[in-house]
Structure 1
């Protein structure tokens, strides 16, 4: 199918064939903690240590994190579907009733995640309806050894190769 004839739903379905991990990007501004679920996350460079994520222009959380200049990527494990749902929604009070702590980098850290990556915003590039955010890593913080949450074919939580074959 040509890209000209492809709808957004068809593009989503096509790209759903690529399995990805699931993260929650968090930050802190004068109004308090903020965050959003994010699947578009990757390593960019080892020297200097750079990572990237993509943020939708329509989101309310990303402008606040951008203004703060610093963020934490919380890498979710397969049992954290509740955390994923909380931060994947449009509710403005995602931290209400949620246990979390402040990192030494003054960013919210979520409990029980696989990994936390604390970073400063290095550069931001506009790419269609998203920003591609490059972050300079300040610290990696390994938290647990659970299996990762995976997003594949529109489903969260599938992480074993057996599950992927039957999906």
Structure 2
């Protein structure tokens, strides 16, 4: 995962025992916008849950990955965090949220 060095969130997240990575579902447009804000309460209006190890997950996501930090590598104005996955949950009945070209889209069946 790549993180901007000026992030105010990463220093708090990296102190936790586990990190939650949620693959957002196509109904999460508003959650995606809220979570990407640079200030304020990013989780306001976002339904979430935490596991016993402290990882936070967005409810209704396509997938949840419970991770820990394996290594951090400097990369210019970003840090690349290599994560070890300890647990994975997938909801095959949901479709992922796609963000490309500064807009939301959908995967189409082939």
TM over 0.5: yes
RMSD of aligned Cα (Å):
1.7
- 1:117 equivalenced with 2:78 (yes/no): no
Residue 79 and residue 98 in structure 1: after superposition, are their counterparts in 2 closer, same or farther (change >3 A)? closer
Partner of 1:55: 3
The answer to whether residue 40 in structure 2 is matched with residue 80 in structure 1 is no
Structure 1 runs not aligned, ≥5 long: 1-52, 163-167
Flag the structure with more relative contact order, 1 or 2, with Cα contacts below 8 A and sequence separation at least 6: 2
Q: Which runs of 4+ in 1 moved over 6 A?
A: none
Measure how far apart 1:70 and its partner are: 2.4
Number of residue pairs aligned between Structure 1 and Structure 2: 109
Q: Which structure's CA Rg is the greater one?
A: 1
Match runs of 1:1-167 below 5 Å: 53-143=1-91, 145-156=93-104, 158-161=105-108
For structure 2, the 5+ residue unaligned runs are none
Q: 1:69 Cα deviation (Å)?
A: 4.5
